[in-house]
Structure 1
Amino acid sequence: MILHCTKKLYAKLPESAKIAEPVTSSIGTQAHWLNRHAHLVTMRRRQCIIAVHDATRFTLLIPCLTKKDFGNLDWHFNDVFISTLLKSDMPSELVNVAATNYQPLTFDTNCNRSVQGTMNQVTQEIVYGLHHNRASVADICAYRYSADLSHRPCGVKGQKDYIWPDREMAK
């Protein structure tokens, strides 16, 4: 699974996890459906990662990361991903397949402006929601928040109709 990171996030990652050159081989093309884009956002002095699935726009929020958490980002990502699938009422067969076939993350800096646009929109929604509800980032449940972010209509560049990320992920 490749996590296409913004430069800000990529700089925080351990060197052992980074890909020296962007993946353009047939393996990278075949595994395109596994790819996600991720961005590091500071919300109320807390470092958070927003990860958006390229094809479905299924969104994950990994809040309140510390410096040592970036070295173990794979574990945090897997935890939020599987738990969000459960909170999104995905079929148990799908959750089992996702959990048993999970591959360690690799990171690069390739970008897709359409997905980055979705990440910016999601960031604005989170910041507004926290401000409106007078909530702290540390108090939110990452799984429930991620499930809610993925249960909303989302526009994708080049597609006429809006998609629902959770429904697209279930497919």
Structure 2
Amino acid sequence: MIKLHATRKLFEKLKLTSDGTLPVTPTSAWLHEKPALDINPLSGWHGHLVTLQRRNCVLMTHDSTRFPLVLPALTKPDFAELNYRFVDAFMNTLLKCGATEIHLETADKYLRPLQVDTECSRSVQGTLNRMKDEFEHQLYYDRLNIAEITGYNAGAWLADTPRTVKGQKNALWPKDAMLTLLERLAMQTSDNRDIE
């Protein structure tokens, strides 16, 4: 599973099963068929529901890399398909960040269904609040209609913004941090194949 720590506002929009997952849909069935992982380095995201231009938008950030995702103009059916929307936003934002085939293949290996709870870190929530302000400014400055964008470019733009993380001296660059994580995972996979 991929843990998603949701703010109360987002949590209340989701219809979850007893184990905190979204019901299986035709577009997310393939995620549920993947084998379970003891430790998933792609797990650990925070999600926040915001209203921009009178539309529901979900902003997400990966806890350790602060890699951002923007899911704009969501309707009720989109919340039921949050697994699909998450995967779509993640893979396409990686592409916009210059990810190679190795990055994308590695990310695909670790994709799993979301498991949602409300345990939130104030530090990561601070990043989400800053992302919201920056994205709102981008919408205004570039005169963008939120209903007409995918969010991939916005996510890539936010990924190229340094973030401060509690307990770290240096700023974190989300794009570099996520691509480095995927490169490290690709090398581990390659090393394991060599051993076998």
Q: TM-score, normalised by structure 2?
A: 0.78
2:40/2:110 contact within 8 Å kept: no
Residue 142 of structure 1 corresponds to 151
User: What is the CA–CA distance in structure 2 between the aligned matches of 1:37 and 1:125, rounded to whole Å?
Assistant: 17
- Alpha-carbon offset, residue 30 of structure 1: 4.0
1:44 and 1:28 map into 2 onto residues whose CA distance is: 39
Matches within 5 A, 1:24-63: 30-31=39-40, 33-63=42-72
Residues 1-171 of structure 1 aligned to structure 2 (within 5 Å): 1-16=2-17, 19=20, 30-31=39-40, 33-171=42-180
The aligned residue for residue 24 of structure 1 is none
Distance between the aligned counterparts of 1:140 and 1:75, measured in 2?
Answer: 17
Which deviations, in whole Å up to 9, do the C-alpha atoms of 1:2-45 show, x marking residues without a partner? Answer: 1100000000001227639xxxxxx9994465110000011011
- Indicate the structure (1 or 2) with the bigger Cα radius of gyration: 2
The separation in 2 between residues aligned to 1:17 and 1:162, in whole angstroms, is 38
Assess, with a 3 A threshold, how the Cα gap between structure 1 residues 17 and 142 changes in structure 2: closer, same or farther. Answer: farther
Q: Which amino acid in the other structure matches residue 114 of structure 1?
A: S
TM-score by length of 1: 0.89
Segments of 4+ moved more than 2 angstroms: 17-20, 27-33
8 Å Cα contact 1:18/1:108 also seen in 2: no
Aligned residues: 165
Three-state SS of the structure 2 residue aligned to 1:16 is coil
The CA RMSD over aligned residues, in Å, is 2.0
Mean alpha-carbon deviation: is it higher for 39-48 or for 133-142? 133-142
User: Any unmatched runs of 5+ in structure 2?
Assistant: 22-35, 181-196
Which digits, 9 at most, give the CA deviation of each residue in 1:131-153, with x for residues without a partner?
Answer: 12222111233111111110111
